[in-house]
Chains A and B, each alone.
Chain A
Amino acid sequence: MLLRNPSLYTNPEPCQHLAEYKLKHGFDGYKAIQKLLVISPIGKASVKKPNTKVPRCGFCNGCEGRFYLCLICSSFSCLDHTLLHPQSETGHAVFVDIERAELFCGVCRDQLYDPDFDQVVMSKHSLGVASGVTGNESIGQRLIKRRRLASGVVGLDLQKSKCRVSTKDLREKSCYPVGLRGLNNLGSTCFMNSVLQVLLNAPPFRDYFLSGGHRLEACHHRRTADLMCCLLCDVNAIFSAAYSGDRSPYSPAQFLYSWWQHSANLACYEQQDAHEFFISMLDAIHEKESKTRNGSKGNGDCQCIAHKVFYGLLRSDVTCMACGFTSTTYDPCVDISLNLDTNVSSTEKGKKLTKQNEDGSMSTLFGCLDLFTRPEKLGSDQKLYCRNCRERQDSLKQMSIRKLPLVLSLHVKRFEHSFVKKSSRKIDRYLHFPFSLDMSPYLSSSILRARYGNRIFNFGGDQSDMFSEFEIFAVVTHSGTLESGHYVSFVRLRNQWYRCDDAWITVVDEATVRASQCYMIFYVQKLQHNKANEDPSHVPNSPGRELFLPIAGFC
């Protein structure tokens, strides 16, 4: 039997009547109910009616309204007589709502929640879909592995912090954090500058480069042989420039040249998409480091810095609507693209700001994430071939997050293309985003739990709550139109927000960031965030001087 995870639920105390019932009768009633339970294809539990007749109240013979089954004498009662039944029969207090498979106390007049009863209901779910049990077991095994990985990552970073040497640069002009430095616009390259500013201040990514993660000596030899630029060396050069203490704006020209060689399709003098640049840069880093490290295979166990920091795993469940069979696949991702939630109708766009506030129908990041993880019925052209039914059936698809990355990058789809109208436009709607984000409702375990009626049961397979709390550290915003606009990034260092507008670094207050039109939002796990804020003086100024101590890999 799987262990219960107490941190997920507030375990309710059973009322005295339920306690007395379990003390006297044990699980006999639960086992009897288990045989009568029926699970619908979409996962709803109910109690089968005997003899397929319309149930009638044993006392008033009525056949309307809600019906409850007494767990002791198995008699049916309507709601009124459910409340009267315990008075006539002492001890007959616990009932089951036959429509919803929920416990009910006739004396307390309230619904009851018992982990043991929910186990019974969940075991019925598992029996219905045999392959689900196998999936749960393998998920459990992966859970052990992932916990080790997660703790390994944390341990690795903790060890690294001990190696750092605290050195203050005398050239520093002011008390501002050492990583802040403007980036010159080389000609419509604000999209690149805004993403680079985010990466320069992403705690795990920054720590890697500042601690000499990329071996320059080994790379130099290969570079002369290949006559090819090394993107990682140029990223390293940007980190050296930003953290050197020099505050005059830096021109990332060598990086642009290097990136244009790696991503030839994007090598043109145009205003480009910041998100596209972000993805292509991580792909280039992954590609380069994968060649360097011979042992890596596949994305799941990739040791390159791009995947160590940004790698997450999405889970996709496709459920047959006829029999309830669920097919599960996993997709790696370095960010999550979210559609803006469409709670606000288009006619309301013309309203003034004050009226919008009064409406309360604001788009929120939670709404976008809810939309992302909502079950979606697949179209008739996408019918799933159900292995259980052996034919194509209507199906529901639902996304969830199987593994969260160290740095969570959320991309808001603001650039909309309509195939019908053959036109593109930008969605300028305001989106509210929180500074602290709890991602546990969107983990696979939470989505599964909600699908099966929020029963008290360990759905397993996910990291603990400790790794689902995130804190914001950067926002990339876009202003203007689809054809001509400007990207600006906001970076949060030691709880102070800075606006990075190409060469201009200015201080802004929280309100400015909250009111901005976010395009990409970057969150870091709270463990990383707290560590980054606690050791401001430990950020080295000259990464080259620091000794790099080898640390054992994940094991």
Chain B
Amino acid sequence: MSVPNEENLSSHSQLSSHFFLDLLDSIIVDVASECHRVARLGLDSNLEEEDEELKLSAQARVRVADPSNSNEANGKYVVDIFGQTHPPVANEIFDCMNCGRSIMAGRFAPHLEKCMGKGRKARLKVTRSSTAAQNRYSRGSPSPGSTYSPYSNYSTNSMNRLANGTSTFAGEEHSNGTLES
């Protein structure tokens, strides 16, 4: 009894192993056939260029990683190619095109965010923004008829007072008073 069982087991094992090798051979020939076609038809012409670029890249990384080799100062206090040095925060002064105030360049973005009433911090400044918007609208509108002349003159006067150097707080209060009346 044991002899036939042993033969069957061995036979099955050999057969499955044989089929597996046949499948494996087929897969290998599939890949080989594809590569052969690509190589013969010249569809892999970029490989050499790619390797060359990879070498350059590897050399570059080694050179940059080497501290003794890097002469470039990474700090902001270097002289640029035009022989200029620049402060860490840009100090050019210009007028904000939204409200007309003088602003330093390096602080323009946070100022403009509040000025335009946008972004996260805008909620805290709702009153100022709406007031400024209304003022701008008043000034921007065309000259009204004779019935509105007194208001226009009054607005001009308040503008003059702001220009005279009144403090921001006082200016805001005055604007609120204007609106109330």
Binding site for B on A (CB under 8 A): 9-10, 12, 64-66, 97, 99-100, 102, 111, 113, 173-174, 176, 180, 182, 184-189, 227, 247-249, 251, 253-254, 256-257, 260-261, 264, 267-270, 353-354, 357, 362, 364, 366, 430, 432, 434-436, 438, 441, 453-454, 456, 498, 501-508, 510-515
Contact = CB atoms under 8 A, between A and B. Distances in A.
B156 interface: no
Contacts of B106: 184-187
Interface in B43-60: 43, 46, 49-50, 53-54, 56-60
Contacts of B81: 174, 176, 180, 498, 505-507
Contact of A173 (B26, B83, B121, B140): B83
Interface string B79-97: 0111110100110101011
B118 A260 contact: yes
Of the four ranges (under 10, 10 to 19, 20 to 34, 35 or more), the interface on chain B belongs to 35 or more
Interface stretch (B61-69, B146-154, B168-176): B61-69
Given A10-B41, A64-B22, A186-B105, A435 B53 contact: yes
B42 interface: yes
B53 A249 contact: no
Given A65-B22, A186-B105, A249-B86, A357 B34 contact: no
Contacts of B63: 511, 515
B36 interface: yes
B29 interface: yes
Contacts of B65: 353, 515
B82 to A, nearest CB: 4
The prevalent SS among residues of A at the interface is loop
Contacts of B24: none
Contacts of B109: 186-189, 256, 269
Contacts of B72: 506, 508, 512
Given A453-B37, A505-B80, A267 B60 contact: no
A370 to B, nearest CB: 11
Nearest to B65: A353
The 4 A-B residue pairs with the shortest CB-CB distance in the complex, in nearest-first order: A268-B119, A10-B42, A187-B109, A514-B60
Given A12-B41, A254-B97, A514 B113 contact: no
A270 B121 CA distance: 11
Contact of B97 (A9, A253, A267, A268): A253
Contact of B105 (A180, A188, A253): A253
B15 to A, nearest CB: 12
B108 A503 contact: no
A257 B112 contact: yes
B107 interface: yes
B126 interface: no
A243 B104 CA distance: 24
Contacts of A184: 90, 92, 105-106
Contacts of B140: 227
B159 interface: no
Given A267-B118, A362-B58, 15 more contacts: A64-B18, A99-B26, A111-B36, A111-B40, A113-B41, A185-B90, A186-B109, A249-B92, A268-B119, A434-B53, A436-B53, A454-B38, A508-B72, A510-B56, A511-B64
B160 interface: no
Contacts of A100: 29-30, 33
10 contacts: A111-B36, A176-B82, A184-B92, A184-B106, A253-B112, A268-B113, A454-B38, A454-B41, A456-B41, A511-B63
A260 to B, nearest CB: 6
B67 to A, nearest CB: 12
A102 B34 CA distance: 10
Contacts of A267: 113, 116, 118-119
Interface string B114-141: 0010111100000000000000000010
Nearest to B91: A184
A113 B36 CA distance: 10
B25 interface: yes
Contact of B110 (A261, A269, A498, A508): A269
B12 interface: no
Contacts of B46: 438, 441
A505 B82 contact: yes
B76 interface: yes
Nearest to A12: B40
Given A180-B81, A256-B112, A111 B37 contact: yes
Contacts of B62: 353-354, 357
Contacts of B105: 184, 186, 251, 253
Given A182-B80, A247-B84, A434 B92 contact: no
Contacts of A173: 82-83
Contact of B108 (A256, A507, A512): A256
A147 B54 CA distance: 34
A173 B82 CA distance: 7
Given A185-B106, A256-B109, A353 B82 contact: no
A498 B72 CA distance: 13
Contact of A514 (B50, B57, B84, B116): B57
A369 to B, nearest CB: 12
A355 to B, nearest CB: 12
Nearest to B76: A504
A113 B37 contact: yes
Given A9-B43, A251-B105, A514-B60, A174 B82 contact: yes
A10 B43 CA distance: 8
Contacts of A441: 46
B98 interface: yes
Given A10-B42, A353-B65, A514 B118 contact: no
Contacts of B61: 353, 357, 430, 514-515
A514 B56 contact: yes
